[in-house]
Amino acid sequence: MQSAVVGRNPKPVHPEDIKAKIRKTGVSLADLSHKLGYDRSAISRTLCQPWPAVEAAIASHLGVPAQSLWPDRYDAEGHPLSNPASKRSRAAANRLRRKSASA
């Protein structure tokens, strides 16, 4: 019988599974966001939309490569795929960091 999976599986890990993995490390999503220097909702937003910097931080926290969690967001070499909204995302990330820092 042949394997149903050929090559790389582009299906991402389900967001609820990523949340569970984070919680199993003993921290909440909001706590991890703060620990990483982001607004409390940064982790939740990243589960739904690409944010390479936060994806990398989540993956590092879990001890896995980011492309293993979101293979649809990365190329074969592990580089984030081009995102037309990435410039807007970086600007939003900077605003959130400034807001968190002033709080």
pLDDT along the chain (103 residues), means of 10: 45 95 97 94 94 96 95 90 62 71 72
State the chain's maximal CA–CA distance in angstroms: 60
pTM: 0.71
Is position 69 within any domain?
A: yes
Q: Does an H or E element contain 97, and which?
A: helix 86-102
Q: How many CB atoms lie within 10 A of CB 9?
A: 11
Is position 21 within any domain?
A: yes
Task: Say which residues have a Cβ less than 8 Å from residue 57's Cβ, sequence separation at least 6.
Answer: 36
Count: domains in the chain: 1
Range of the domain at 31: 15-93
Is position 3 within any domain?
A: no
Is position 73 within any domain?
A: yes
Is position 83 within any domain?
A: yes
